[in-house]
């Protein structure tokens, strides 16, 4: 019996299903909350109904002060009805905004998870470099036929790393600085070499490419993550 296999298409479909289910769940929850909220809110005409009931049950209130009091109560009921109606509109608008924000958060969360998975896959697989050609004359490096213009200092750093890679060596920051400056490694600072590596990565531009092409090995140094047979220097 063959083992079940997963593909990028299946992963994409699964991600789409998660997004759809999440959107439906968010809309359903907010819709239920909205219905429950509007059902529990008091009727806008409830106060007016009470005032009208007072008028009906107390028809013996005939003095000017008593009639004036009833008029004030009626006006208060009308004001209460208007305020409650405006509250309903405000609550509805807030629910719409909260729905939109939750949906956007869900979509962004799924996108971030998908990008993190893709980045992890790239990091595990590494960069597939078919050719790496360093041209001192044009001060450029060609990676899989993509041209990256470099400064003189960045080109020197990359050349040193390429020569070390062909000898299967890992260079520390001090060793890189020593090979470029011509001084003794003991007299060179590790930070100087690290600065050269940073400038090389900045010159390459693409952070993903530069970080994976020039790999940092903890407590050892730096190395190019390409095969020796693909490196050419002209």
CATH of 132-233, one of 3.40.50.720, 3.40.50.620, 1.10.10.10, 3.40.640.10: 1.10.10.10
- Highest mean predicted confidence (pLDDT) among 27-36, 84-93, 185-194, 205-214: 185-194
Q: pLDDT at position 234, please?
A: 79
In DSSP notation, 37-89 reads HHHHSPPTTHHHHHHHHHHHHTTT--SHHHHHHHHHHHHHHHHHHHHHHHHHH
Question: Is 43's pLDDT higher than 60?
Answer: yes
Tell me whether strands 231-233 and 132-135 are parallel, antiparallel or unpaired: parallel
Tokens 């929850």 correspond to 29
pLDDT tens figures, 165-175: 888 888 888 89
- Highest mean predicted confidence (pLDDT) among 42-56, 80-94, 174-188: 174-188
- Give CA–CA dist 136/79, Å, rounded: 83
Going from N- to C-terminal start, the domains of the chain cover 8-125, 132-233
Tokens 């190019």 correspond to 224
pTM: 0.46
Residues 6+ apart with CB under 8 A from 56: none
pLDDT tens figures, 122-164: 555 555 677 788 888 888 888 777 787 888 888 888 888 888 8
- Give CA–CA dist 154/197, Å, rounded: 8
């Amino acid at each position: 019996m063959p083992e079940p296999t997963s593909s990028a298409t299946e992963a994409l479909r699964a991600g789409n299903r998660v997004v759809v289910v999440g959107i439906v769940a968010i809309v359903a929850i907010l819709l239920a909350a909205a219905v429950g909220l509007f059902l529990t809110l008091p009727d806008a005409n409830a106060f007016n109904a009470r005032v009208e009931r007072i008028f009906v049950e107390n028809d013996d209130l005939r003095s000017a002060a008593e009639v004036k009091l009833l008029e004030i109560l009626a006006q208060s009921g009308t004001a209460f009805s208007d305020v409650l109606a405006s509250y309903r509109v405000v609550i509805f608008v807030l629910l719409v905004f909260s729905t939109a924000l939750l949906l956007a958060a869900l979509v962004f969360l799924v996108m971030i998870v998908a990008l993190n998975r893709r980045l992890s896959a790239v990091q595990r697989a590494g960069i597939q470099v078919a050719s790496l050609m360093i041209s001192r004359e044009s001060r450029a490096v060609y990676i899989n036929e993509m041209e990256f213009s470099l400064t003189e200092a960045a080109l020197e750093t990359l050349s040193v790393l390429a020569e070390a890679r062909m000898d299967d060596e890992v260079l520390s920051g001090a060793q890189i600085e020593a090979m470029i400056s011509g001084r003794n490694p003991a007299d060179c600072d590790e930070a100087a070499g690290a600065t050269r590596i940073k400038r090389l990565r900045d010159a390459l531009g693409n952070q993903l490419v530069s970080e994976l092409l020039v790999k940092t090995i903890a407590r050892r140094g730096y190395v190019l993550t390409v095969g020796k047979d693909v490196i050419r220097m002209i």
